[in-house]
Amino acid sequence: MAKYSDLASVQQAIREGQTSCKALVAFYLEQIKEHQHLNIYLEVFEEEALQKAAALDKKIQESPEKLGKLWGMVVSIKDVICYQGHKVSAGSKILENFESLFSATAVERILAEDAIIIGRTNCDEFAMGSSNENSAYGPVLNGINPQKIPGGSSGGAAVSVQMDTCLAALGTDTGGSVRQPAALCGILGMKPSYGRISRHGLVAYGSSFDQVGIFAHKTEEMALLLEVMAGADEYDATASKREVPAYSQTLEPLQQPSIAYYRSALEHPGLDEEIRTLMEQQLDEFRRAGYRVEGVDFKYLDYIVPAYYVLTTAEASSNLSRYDGVRFGFRDKEADSLEDMYTHSRTQAFGEEVKRRIMLGTFVLSAGYYDAYYTKAQKVRRLIAEETRRLLSDFDFLLMPTTPAPAWNLGEKTDDPVEMYLADIFTVQANMAGIPGIAFPVGKTGEGLPVGLQLMSNVFEEAKLLSFVKQLGY
Ligand code: GLN
């Protein structure tokens, strides 16, 4: 149970003098020390966070009218999000000791509202993975049961909130990397619509999929962080210019929400029995509340993962070509020709999964196979996106499991990449279609492992989605 699960009570406790920003940061630093064995953080900004907290305490006393919206909020950032003057390694050896030259727009915006960043969290290398076992700095362990994976790729971010080392965390979600670990760790995780938050300052993986996401215990914190981070940005042409609603002020219950679910997902042979039961219970609850609930058919379910892995590996192979040992990052100093330097640097410093994806992506983009794989997968993406958006113009929400199974054992799927990829079956649709999704905890398995379901709405309907999740009690 988190000591603080919402910002309002943190701020109240500080105002009433029960605690201070400095004491709060000290509490979180203590929590970080206590959970070091989980390998959550790659770096803790201890001194800096304490100094910022002290400055904030002074501001509370001297000029409270100048406090930003996020004062009192302590946040962790995933190690793919740039923070000027701080290291960012994307969980990779290739960026070992690399320092950010500028801050991500998302980071700048939360700092401008007085959030305190406590450290950078471990993740799968270049955000490629579903279990956080692909980090060059060792796996992250699930705080509920350290034999189990926390999910990935934002595993450190999820556990940082799960284990009460900060109030909220920023991650990234290209194919489920926020919603999946949130579900496996028993907290809330949100991926906004593609383009809602600027990608400027994110280490790119699949640029037409990547999006900053948020982990928290409560809807209010997600809404507040989203409203602070979202909006147009001159540094990212894909960031939407659409007006940003005051999400935290519009969390009103919906009168007659309608919810669709895919029969093929609920009946999927790969779905764990306990998750199926919890999903059925949730649907029954909706029906009892008088909401319109309908099972619909979706014929593309089994095509989502293959198309996703063709497209994201293609984009990754291009994005990762900049790590060549020349301009920044790791360089093999023994190489005696230019070509050897490229080859050796990349061979030595990229992990196995990243190399697999670079090769796969290069293959699907190669002259002889481009049409057979890349063009075809683009067409499949278009079909999936259109069908999803059409469905969501008839229904307010789409309910899905977040994961086919609860957290698995460390090492259980590492020998079988395809099995690992298939674990993303329910999360990648939102990224393929660019729609927002929120994973929320619905219960636990007999073994005590958290289960999360997922609600999605149509593009840029975050306000409605957040309202409904709050209505469900979060
Ligand atoms: N597991 C998916 C992948 O490996 C999703 C990763 C992500 O969202 N960053 O691509």
The string of pLDDT tens digits covering residues 380-424 is 999 999 999 999 999 999 999 999 999 999 999 999 999 999 999
How many angstroms separate the CA atoms of 363 and 67, rounded? 52
- Provide residues with CB under 6 Å of ligand 1: 127-130, 153, 172-177, 205, 312, 424
What domains, with CATH codes, occur in the chain? Answer: 7-249 (3.90.1300.10)
Q: Averaged over 63-85, what is the pLDDT?
A: 98
The DSSP call for residue 439 is E
**pLDDT above 90 covers what percent of the chain?**
98
Distance 176 CA to ligand 1 centre (A): 6
Using 50, 70 and 90 to split pLDDT, how confident is the model at 1? Answer: low
Q: Averaged over 158-182, what is the pLDDT?
A: 98
Place of tokens 């928290």: 216
Q: ω into residue 153 within 30 of 0, thus cis?
A: yes
Query: Residue 357: what pLDDT?
Result: 98
Distance 53 CA to ligand 1 centre (A): 34
Atom of ligand 1 nearest to the CA of 312: 10
Distance 293 CA to ligand 1 centre (A): 30
Nearest to 141 by CA among 126, 127, 162: 162
* Catalytic residue (choose from 78, 148, 191, 218): 78
- The helix/strand/coil state of 262 is strand
Strand partners of residue 44 = 119
Distance 141 CA to ligand 1 centre (A): 18
Which tokens in the block code for residue 313?
């590996």
Active site residue 177: yes
Active site residue 160: no
How many angstroms separate the CA atoms of 33 and 30, rounded? 5
Using 50, 70 and 90 to split pLDDT, how confident is the model at 2? Answer: confident
Q: Averaged over 437-459, what is the pLDDT?
A: 98
Residue 286 confidence (pLDDT) above 80: yes
Residue 327 confidence (pLDDT) above 90: no
Q: Averaged over 202-224, what is the pLDDT?
A: 98
Active site residue 69: no
